[in-house]
Structure 1
Amino acid sequence: MSLLLRKSVKLLAPAALAQMTIASIVFGIITYNYQGDFLNSLAYTSVCFLLMQTGYFAGIFYMVWSEFKRKSS
């Protein structure tokens, strides 16, 4: 595995949180422009952010589980 790929696989928490926040803000702006309703776009943006956080947690959980499985074998 190349060094660049190894560094990108680590899922660093501050960078991931910043990227998810930026993506959620952009998603919120696009949703507001499309629908024109602030509360509805805020709800969609919150759901989007929660789904991204869930995916991040699942990725971290999978990495820890696979490392534990590899070391216990």
Structure 2
Amino acid sequence: MIHEMNGRNDRVVTSQLAKKYGITRTVIVNALRKLVSAGLIQTRSAGVKGTQIEILNDIVYTEFDNKL
């Protein structure tokens, strides 16, 4: 998911990601929930337009950014 984002705050469409990577949408939603509960990201539903994701932790963002 993070690879699909442009910067620290972006919108992703979980159904499109699931189709692209050949996994279920449930897997993506559960992964997002785990990241939220760990305090690494914040999400907000945008309805059919997707899910707004904001990376909250600077260290995590830097690590993700370096690996992209």
Greater RCO, 1 or 2 (C-alpha within 8 Å, sep 6+): 2
More helix by share: 1
- Based on CA coordinates, which of the two structures has the bigger radius of gyration? 1
